[in-house]
Amino acid sequence: MKVLGIETSCDECAAAVVEDGRNVLSNVVATQIPFHAPFNGVVPEIASRKHTEWIYAVVREALDKAGIGPGDLGAVAVTSRPGLLGSLIVGLSFAKAFAWARGIPLVAVDHMKAHLYASRLRKAESPDEDPPPEYPFLGLLVSGGHTIICRADGFDDITVLGTTIDDAVGEAFDKVAKHYNLGYPGGAVIDRLAREGDDGAFRFPMPSLHKGEHRHDVSYSGLKNAVINQLGQFRVKKDAENHGEPRPEDIAASFQKTAVEILLRALFNAADDSGLSTVVAGGGVAANSRLRERLAERRNLRGVFPPPEFCGDNGAMIAGIGYQYLARGDRSPMSVTASARVEGFKKRYP
Ligand code: KG4
Ligand code: ZN
């Protein structure tokens, strides 16, 4: 069955067609980055307006690229939570109208569970690679709004083992980049700059969360504060070529090193404690090159990452997980609504 997936939870207006929950026939992502870049962050009202303007054309293009018409679709899947409310409502309302007009089922899905599903997708034109990872595995969900270490026993059966007690990891990347005017969005820029920098130029502190009930949790506000407000205190080396001024490349490399180590310390604790030896990553930060390298170095732990185009927000992961709900008989009513937050993901910390 071919499912249309619609994703408008933040600043990407996205639609895709996926067959049988795995084969991606098209994946269209219209990014709003140029419209938010002058503000160094997503402006919710601009995001909702752009989704309203673009959603029809994005869906149309997803169908055209898949080489199908609306009548070939078996169902519509759409993100209904979590995200920016005004943005979610655009995609959700469009999906409802589409499903009603075609007389096909609608299924509203969770954006973060969809991120974890992304590694099960394959591009239709690529030869059949590795089979999808078998459950159970450890999930590492890392985005602009969430940092979750979980145990996944099924596509919809997720137990949160650890989370951030303050900022999300992607948020820390974005805020550091914003403060030093490195560019927007921050994660990809820092990842790129870090390759030219010395990761030993600054030695930033790690949070002391490695014991007791916080063994699987992370914290980023201390690191963010150190990099933004107390940079000089953590300087190890001075760069003569830059007249003693800190080089943005060195700040990026040293920050990224610590940000990744914070994540991996909690993840490795969760792997040791759970006995699970496969980690499936998802979310925008899963595109980070250092995270991928460091995880690959760890013995006895297999890291599974979605292809880069399925790490950030996209409609394919929505259509993919949507198919699984449909296959077990789930349907969403036409009264289904959007939610900005999902309780379970910040279980212990409101
Ligand atoms: O999943 P996503 O596209 O949207 C949300 O659901 O939040 O994640 C966006 C986040 C942003 O914070 C962005 O800076 C970060 O992912 N990001 C990265 C990289 N690419 C995107 N962070 C680190 N390294 C990257 N290469
Ligand atoms: Zn996302």
Q: Where are the domains of the chain?
A: 2-121+310-328, 137-305
Q: Where are the beta strands (DSSP E) in 8-156?
A: 12-19, 23-31, 75-81, 106-110, 122-123, 137-142, 147-154
CATH 3.40.640.10 fits 2-121+310-328, yes or no: no
Q: Which atom of ligand 1 is nearest to the CA of 282?
A: 1
Ligand 1 atom 7: the closest Cα is on which residue?
Answer: 144
Give the ligand at the shortest distance from the Cα of 189: 1
Q: 52-75 as b/e, with b when 16 or more CB fall inside 10 Å? A: bebbeebbeebbeebebeeeebeb
Ligand 1: centre distance to CA 42 (Å): 12
How many Cβ atoms sit within 10 Å of the Cβ of residue 48? 18
In order of 8, 48, 68, 82, 184, the CA distances from 85 in angstroms are: 10, 9, 31, 8, 22
Q: Which atom of ligand 1 is nearest to the CA of 111?
A: 6
Q: Determine the pLDDT at residue 345.
A: 67
Ligand 2: centre distance to CA 239 (Å): 37
How many Cβ atoms sit within 10 Å of the Cβ of residue 338? 23
Pocket of ligand 1 (CB under 6 A): 10, 143-145, 170, 173-174, 185-188, 191, 283-285, 287-288, 312-313
Give the ligand at the shortest distance from the Cα of 47: 1
* Low-confidence spans in the chain with pLDDT less than 70: 127-128, 210, 238-243, 344-350
Tell me the pLDDT tens digit for each residue of 271-313.
999 999 999 999 999 999 999 999 999 999 999 999 989 999 9
Closest CA to 288 of 162, 181, 112, 170: 170
For a mutational test of ligand 1's pocket, the pick from 12, 143, 342, 345, i.e. the residue with the most ligand atoms closer than 8 A to its C-beta, is 143
pTM of the model: 0.94
Q: Determine the pLDDT at residue 127.
A: 67
Tell me the pLDDT tens digit for each residue of 218-273.
999 999 999 999 999 999 976 655 667 899 999 999 999 999 999 999 999 999 99
Please list the residues that pair with 147 across neighbouring strands: 142
Q: How many CA atoms lie within 13 A of 10 on its CB side?
A: 21
185 cis-preceded (ω within 30 degrees of 0) = yes
For a mutational test of ligand 1's pocket, the pick from 117, 263, 285, i.e. the residue with the most ligand atoms closer than 8 A to its C-beta, is 285
Q: Which atom of ligand 1 is nearest to the CA of 171?
A: 12
How many Cβ atoms sit within 10 Å of the Cβ of residue 35? 15
- Sort strands 137-142 and 147-154 into parallel, antiparallel or unpaired: antiparallel
Domains 2-121+310-328 and 137-305 in one fold: yes
Q: Determine the pLDDT at residue 208.
A: 87
82 cis-preceded (ω within 30 degrees of 0) = yes
**Residue 122 φ then ψ, to 5°:** -135, 145
Give the ligand at the shortest distance from the Cα of 256: 1
Ligand 1: centre distance to CA 82 (Å): 15
Contact between 121 and 285 under an 8 Å Cβ cutoff? The reply is no
Q: Determine the pLDDT at residue 243.
A: 67
Local structure of 264: helix, strand or coil: helix
Closest CA to 85 of 8, 156, 14, 150: 8
Output Rg (C-alpha) for the chain, integer angstroms: 20
Ligand 1 atom 3: the closest Cα is on which residue?
Answer: 312
Ligand 1: centre distance to CA 145 (Å): 9
CATH no., domain 137-305: 3.30.420.40
What whole-number distance in Å separates Cα of residue 191 and Cα of residue 293?
12
Give the CA-trace dihedral at 316, 320, 322, 325, to 10 degrees: -170
